[in-house]
Structure 1
Amino acid sequence: MAEPTTAPSKYRAIVLTACGGTFLAMLDSTVTNLAVPDLQRAFPSASVPDLSWVISGYAVMFAALLAPAGRLADALGRRKVFAVGVGLFTLASLLCALAPSLPTLVIARFLQGAGAAAMIPASLAILLLDGPAERRPQSIALWSTASAVAAALGPAVGGVLVEQFGWQSVFLINLPLGLIVIAATLRVVPKPESSTRGALPDMVGTGLVAIGVGGLTLAVSEGASWGWLDVRTLASAVIGVAALAFAVFRSRSHPTPAIETSLWGNRTFAATNIVSLFYGMAQYAWMLGSVLYLTEIWGYGELLAGVANTPGAFAASVAALGLARVAGKIGGPRTAVIGGLIAFTACGLWFTFGLIDHAAFLTFWLPAALLAGAGMGAATMGTSAAAAMSAPPTRFASSSGLNTTARQFGGALGIAMMAVVLQQSTGIDGTRDVDAYSNMFLFCTLMMIAALVVAVGWLKFPAPAAAPTTDVPAAAKAKG
């Protein structure tokens, strides 16, 4: 490791750069949630399902390209892929703000999602490989904190910007931040030696992975509005499954596979991704469902509902950073994941059986938000650490891309299932009561319990993979 990289000032600059990109990407996954009413006024001829593509278009491309982007970052270089991703994201943000029509806006959101997908795995690889090895647990915690806090703050930031400046502002805010991150990347992130770069992954397989994950995410995202037996839903699902199956088949024998199938031979990596899938189902359904509960049951405005979720974001950051300091002494990522899921599950049980029909922020919502936020921060940090530490350094970007894909796809699936649960509990007049949201939080709790069972039964603390020559399957067998 080069000495300038290990200097404290250099490390801080790298952390701010990589986490800044992560923050932007995850913020835009939720910041537009409260912009839909203003978008409806701007495009009055558009239907609600059409407007929903402003949100789902980003999510579909984000999930579809995370794994391929991770492979490209390992092959082409994390610095290059990160800089290109931030550049595309920033340019797409400008196109979003200037969009004269809804179709143009949706296309720009697709481009934004593609840029964000490139940023996420490359940013973690930068932190882990361009920072000192002894600080990797702290780097993972900071990266996880930026991710969790951005997703949690999205509704609040979106609510403030939309109310004060209109829907365009949620995209314009990305322009100065994106330019700063690009400049910082070119200045502080070192250029990797050409010898460290690998051959390009199988491009056919890479395309199949993107089509497969994108098709499945599209099916679960739009199934509730299209209809689960609608030809569009079924076609998306069938194409997604077929593309992924073919990609896996090609990857098993290809010299530069699109999917690192060897990573799945590592028990820790496989278990971490299963945990992330169930955890994502609970987390994203919880965040959206909480806003709906506050607006429909407590009568909060959209802005106030978003702000009410900020204590949870604060708790998430404190939990992630605090656990990073002591995780090595109390059992590592496994303890963080299990402890976070227990706290999150406890809050889920509280909401399932003790939900109230009147506003009580200080006595009910605040303590619950702090408990849930702490659980999310610990679980996000723990799963990110377990996924990264169960892979050798040459595959850090690939492992983080696959793990984030699992959580994002889980989030899309969780939101779709949450919509079904709420729809079944909706009255004839279209209103929902406390029981409807109790059922929704019960669904989230069951997903947390599923994640907890997998974590307790199969997730083991991986030994840090410090040498690029480490054989992943052999390491997995030694750990088993």
Structure 2
Amino acid sequence: MTEVTARIDNPPTTNTAARTLLIASGAAFIAFLDLSVVNIAFPSIARDFPSTPATTLTWIVSGYAVAFAALLTPAGRFADTLGRRKLFLIAMAGFALTSLLCGLAPSAPWLIAGRLLQGATAALMVPSALGLVLSVTPREKIGAAIGAWSAAGGFAAVVGPAIGGALVETFGWRSVFMINIPIAIALIVPGLRIPVPDTRQPGGAMPDPLGTMAIALGLGGLVVGVTEGQEWGWNAPVTLIALIGGTLLILVALLRSTRHHNPAITVRLWRSRPYALATASTFVFGGSMFSWLLAGPLFLDAIWQYSVLESAGALTVGAVSSMVTATIAGRITSPTTRRWVGVLGALMYTATTAWMSTDAFGSTPALWSAWIPAGLLGGGGVGIVVTVLGTAAASSLPPQEFAAGIGMNLTARQVGGALGIAVLAAVFAAHPGDPLGGFHTVFAVSAAIGVAAALLIAIPGRTPATALATQ
């Protein structure tokens, strides 16, 4: 293993750590804001492109997730090679530019292409920003730092529906992308002036380009196959090529990563049992969570006929609950307590999605008797699980592996999310004349995946956090 050396002319102070956390939280805010506002804008986007099939339009969400997932893992190594602050600033500028491209997109294919590029820049931005925080944060305060970072994402989810609803209602859906530009500029300017440790690896090389390309194309192929399989036919040659080819490319990337001296995927980190369990749990839960987050605004629009602002108000309930529980979960320091709280959060989420698959969520709006209680319970569960798994992953790694480890853990969530949205699209395609039945099926599948996530989270990890440092 290459030893990472941090050249620190001026050791990080408490003030530096606080300012770095503030900027990284801003990065989390803008990334999660983009996700929540796009979800609320999705019905409006679909109405503007009526000739584009709904399964294809889901790529506006899943395309972002695929690109995000494909580059998140090597992004950690890019950050270690180029310097975390340098990569963060470049990525933030790229995020602003690609947001502009999305806002100006003349057609659905252009919008999907813009979202793919936007996801790529977000993939470079997020782990480098969080890596900066962890490089200046004492280990005993990592849980609190990740809790604050997660709370920023939760706050974006809180204000996202309201901001998105107001923007769509007043200026149209394109404005939900344009809003990213001033926020990005507001983060770049102070980011230029923050002194942080130089975490570059002397003589470090870039991750394996063939492995990176293989994992990107493999993930894309899998999501294409699952998303379009219902329309193309599950036995159609193009579907089988996408599914089988995607799987083979992912296996090639993994195989190369076990042998390459600068792998695209740092598979060595999986030797840590706590990290491997946290990453596996993140993958499984991400598949359910992303599907649920997109299904919510679609349900309110298609079944209850809510306006954009009404949907925004309804969705805010769960987002507020998520932010509150994320903050509380971030304060838990005991690994055992944290694990069982994570199980509780997964079961809260599972109970919510199971309830939403019943006639309690029928064609007649039931805001106070059904939606708000479900939002409080499910949103609270999401806030707990996301924070618990993020903290568990970071706490199981030595400091020199933070950036790569964070990137891989977030990759797992995005891959699961992309596949979850693909399953959502396939379910809807299988219920062309029964949208309510389609939603109930999506929620039932989400509940089943939630149970699997709870079981994974319950498994104890025993590998010491320092085990990788000696390997």
Match of 1:337 in 2: 342
**Runs of at least 4 residues off by over 6 Å:** 1-5
Is it true that 1:448 corresponds to 2:447 in the alignment? no
- Measured in 2, the distance between the counterparts of 1:211 and 1:115 equals 17
Residues 117-156 of structure 1: matches in 2 within 5 Å? 117-150=123-156, 154-156=160-162
- Tell me by how many angstroms 1:116 deviates: 0.6
Which among 12, 15, 23 is matched to residue 9 of structure 1? 15
Identity %: 39
- Tell me by how many angstroms 1:446 deviates: 0.6
TM-score normalised by the chain length of structure 1: 0.87
Contact 2:157 2:316 in 1 (8 A): no
Contact 2:335 2:392 in 1 (8 A): no
Residues 49 and 338 of structure 1: CA distance in aligned 2, closer, same or farther (over 3 Å): closer
- Measured in 2, the distance between the counterparts of 1:156 and 1:226 equals 37
- Measured in 1, the distance between the counterparts of 2:424 and 2:384 equals 23
Residues 3-402 of structure 1: matches in 2 within 5 Å? 6-36=12-42, 38-39=44-45, 48=54, 51-150=57-156, 154-190=160-196, 192=198, 194=200, 198-325=204-331, 327-329=332-334, 331-353=336-358, 355-357=360-362, 358-402=364-408
- Measured in 2, the distance between the counterparts of 1:40 and 1:283 equals 22
Contact 1:4 1:10 in 2 (8 A): no
1:258 partner amino acid: A
- Measured in 2, the distance between the counterparts of 1:104 and 1:420 equals 23
Match of 2:3 in 1: none
Match of 2:469 in 1: 470
Contact 2:40 2:311 in 1 (8 A): no
Give the paired residue count: 464
Contact 1:334 1:382 in 2 (8 A): yes
- Tell me by how many angstroms 1:170 deviates: 1.0
**CA-to-aligned-CA distance 1:262-309 (integer Å, 9 cap, x gap):** 111222222212211221121112122222332333332233123211
Bigger RCO (CA 8 Å, 6+ sep):
2
- Measured in 2, the distance between the counterparts of 1:157 and 1:400 equals 29
- Measured in 2, the distance between the counterparts of 1:41 and 1:343 equals 34
Residues 46 and 323 of structure 1: CA distance in aligned 2, closer, same or farther (over 3 Å): closer
Contact 1:276 1:407 in 2 (8 A): yes
- Measured in 1, the distance between the counterparts of 2:409 and 2:192 equals 27
Unaligned runs of 5+ in 1: 473-480
2:461 partner amino acid: K
- Measured in 1, the distance between the counterparts of 2:47 and 2:422 equals 25
- Tell me by how many angstroms 1:42 deviates: 5.4
Residues 156 and 331 of structure 1: CA distance in aligned 2, closer, same or farther (over 3 Å): same
Match of 1:438 in 2: 440
**CA-to-aligned-CA distance 1:308-365 (integer Å, 9 cap, x gap):** 111111111111111222x124735423321211221232333345624332323322
1:318 partner amino acid: V
TM-score normalised by the chain length of structure 2: 0.89
Contact 1:68 1:210 in 2 (8 A): no
**CA-to-aligned-CA distance 1:413-451 (integer Å, 9 cap, x gap):** 22222334445455xxx2434x55433322111101011
Contact 1:355 1:438 in 2 (8 A): no
- Measured in 2, the distance between the counterparts of 1:259 and 1:231 equals 30
Residues 204 and 139 of structure 1: CA distance in aligned 2, closer, same or farther (over 3 Å): same
Contact 1:386 1:462 in 2 (8 A): no
- Measured in 2, the distance between the counterparts of 1:63 and 1:151 equals 20
**CA-to-aligned-CA distance 1:155-185 (integer Å, 9 cap, x gap):** 5433321111112211111111011111222
1:449 partner amino acid: V
